[in-house]
Amino acid sequence: MADTHAEGEHEHFAGSNKLFFSVWVWLLLLTGLEVFLGYVHLDFRLMLTILIGLSIIKAALIVAYFMHLRFERLSLVLTLVPMLVVCICLLLVFFPDSFRSKDQRYRFESSTQQQTEQSEH
């Protein structure tokens, strides 16, 4: 963290070309792994978890090194990242409703089937 600089100075450690190149290679390797996993027959939920996990690692690499956030002040990181994570997690409250609407549709269909069967008798 470049805290020791004088006020108003925006210089900070920028990282070397070698570092950026190795980050790029890592991103390509993780992408290759994702494409490979796309063709492995796994349980859908496990697959979703692994793919999102790998994508979060890739996003973190991009934000930390390409977007320089690792070399910025900690106060900036704390201003930007936690609120974003909390807001995205809050969006997950919709999923119980998503599963419920699927169950409801099946129940509705089966109950109408029963009714038609009863009226036929």
Partner 1 sequence: MSTTAQADQLIANEWSGGTHPYRIGHRKLGMWLFIVSDALTFSALLIGYSYVRASSDQWPTPFPFYPSIIFSSVMTLCLLSSSLTMVMGVQASARRDFKAIRKWIVLTIIFGAAFIVLHLIEWKHLIDEGLGPSTLPAEWLHRWPNASPLFGAAFFGITGLHMFHVATGLIYLAVVAARAKKLKHEDVEISGLYWHFVDLVWMFVFPMIYLLSVDFTP
For 49, the token pair is: 């978890």
DSSP 6: P
By the rule CB under 8 A, 34 interacts with partner 1: yes
CB neighbours of residue 65 within 10 Å: 19
Interatomic CA distance for residues 34 and 50, integer angstroms: 9
Interatomic CA distance for residues 113 and 107, integer angstroms: 10
Q: In the bound complex, what is the minimum distance in angstroms from residue 121's beta carbon to partner 1?
A: 28
Q: Which residue has the tokens 């900690």?
A: 74
Q: What is the CA radius of gyration of the chain?
A: 24
Q: In the bound complex, what is the minimum distance in angstroms from residue 67's beta carbon to partner 1?
A: 5
Binding test (CB under 8 A) with partner 1, winner from 38, 46, 107, 110? 38
Q: In the bound complex, what is the minimum distance in angstroms from residue 89's beta carbon to partner 1?
A: 10
Q: What residues make contact with partner 1 under the rule CB under 8 A? A: 2-3, 5, 7-10, 12, 14, 17, 20-21, 24, 27-28, 31, 34-35, 37-39, 41, 44, 47-48, 51-52, 54-55, 58-59, 62-63, 66-68, 72-73, 75-76, 79-80, 83-84, 87-88, 91-92, 94-95, 97-99, 101-102, 105-106
